[in-house]
Structure 1
Amino acid sequence: MDSPARHGRYPYRALPDRPVYDWPDGRRLAVYVGLNLEVFDFGTGRGAQLAPGGGDPDVLNYAWRDWGNRVGAWRLLETFDALGLPTSVIANSRVFADCPGLVEAFLARGDELVGHGRTNAERQADLAEDDEQALVAEATRVLVERGGRRPAGWLGPWISESHLTPDLLAEAGYTYLLDWAHDDQPTWLATRDGGAILSVPYPQELNDIPAVVSRQVSGQEFADMVVATFDEMREQARTAPLVMGIALHPYVVGVPHRLRPLRSALAHVATPRDDVWLTTAGAVAEHVASLPDTPAEHGRDTMAR
């Protein structure tokens, strides 16, 4: 009998069996907004669909996604400013060329820049090692040159990884990634050089693409999901530190009928609370890496190879 396939990146450890620690100032729930700024190839490649396309060039769906960068993202920027919410800007490197001034407007707020490949028309899992390594290097170079800072984190386009992605990211100097939605706490993933890269929780339930595009929930239902998740995780965090991410795409939640209820939900989250840390994914990663004894550190010692 063949041995079952295993990823070998992290061991199993139940949440109740892990050491308890705090976020800054004794807080227990860390909340961040992951704003995806993406571009797509015209007439080819991958992309979320508002409606089934009518062949190539798929003007309907391409234009819908492009609306997000031209209009929706700016409405979200106004919302984040009004609520005083920081964001982790998860950006394709080609956004700088295709949408001049867009990423820069968020970076001017002091928002974090997270690598997200070159474009969302391609997947890392489809590439050979050398080609994937080149993709990471090219995207990183553009983000550094145009964004003025080196990103610490990475989210693969379409949450797509090859078997070597965590290794290649660590070797390229990244300290954390967002691809794995397997936990509510950061987890160390083993890398092939004997080191590790931190996995920061990124939501697939509280993510407007799976929720609205795939499951077709309404804007109000998605906003209700944000509020319910926040209230529940705030209670759960009394016994263990947790991370709550909110994944947004301007072409989905930037439209008026979804933005209005989302704004109310984000206002609920942004209401000052002594036990909630409104932050970025990168700040979460930095905090965990600085702790001497956390579930993540414990996992680093016992990783499956």
Structure 2
Amino acid sequence: MGQTYPFSAIVGQAEMKRALILAAIDPRIGGILVFGDRGTGKTTAVRGLAGLLPPMRVASDCRFNCAPGEPAEPCTRCRAEIAVGRLRGKAAPVPVIDLPLGASEDRVAGALDLEKALVSGEKAFEPGLLASAHRGFLYIDEVNLLEDHLVDLLLDVAASGINVVEREGLSIRHPARFVLVGSGNPEEGDLRPQLLDRFGLSVEVASPRDVASRVEVVKRRDAFDRDPKGFAQAWKRHDAAMRRQIGAARQRLGEIRVPDAVLEHAASLCLSLGVDGLRGELTLMRAARAETALAAGTTVTIEAIDAVAVSALRHRLRRDPLDETGSGARIERALGALQAA
């Protein structure tokens, strides 16, 4: 595998980087959708995220990344190990798995291990990408071009956190909880509403608009292409500092208070924008709590809600044919009205 471009070396794109960091602090925020022009660092940022994630504990020799300390939804093997008190754990990197657009359903969900079936006649399960992504990140580039049958599969698994495979004489259930990260170009089509609703935060990225930023992007990319290892080494300290920040924020997350007045502000904002359902308020609360933990705070404030509001709500707004302003501007306008009230 080639050297990954360091996350901390990405120039600008503050909203995208913040959304990814917040999801790393609290995966319950939900998926991250990154839409924007080609060549704006979307894929680079997602792949660089792997270098920021503190290692996690996994059950030894488990093909599904089960957590040894959280046996609520273990796989069949780990359940048996728990029963006899033999489940052991080890440190492992948090997975960031690519789901190619052309992947088959068998490759994504898992299927019969043909090699074992042909060689020994044994019916064995070959885990797919969903198993590899459990407790990590599943990344889909050009997510708006994903085939419908894979979208249906992802929706089922995202709703239940369990992947069920029943085919070719197999009946397998295993945990599959992951942060779904999708990127794409809006000119190439929209996402199905059901899938769009599964993303916690939505980010819009664009090419830098000033000469200095564009020059800096070119210089850093050229330096990376000439000497990937040397460039990564030069930014290693910056990535390590960010990794420590994320780890510390995770530790603080459970202690962060969310006052009723802050929840009332979030609900008022969603009502004023006509947001359907309650996922908007939940995402606002979780993202603001992660933002507060990152800033080493103890209590979520209305300002923290406002800071994440555009990312949490822009993809949840109904389209208004009489309002040509973007969704971000509509949210900013609603925030201004609430502040003036």
Query: Is TM (by shorter chain) over 0.5?
Result: no
Please give the TM-score of this superposition, normalised by the length of structure 1. 0.29
Higher gyration radius (CA): 2
Structure whose residues are more often helix by fraction = 2
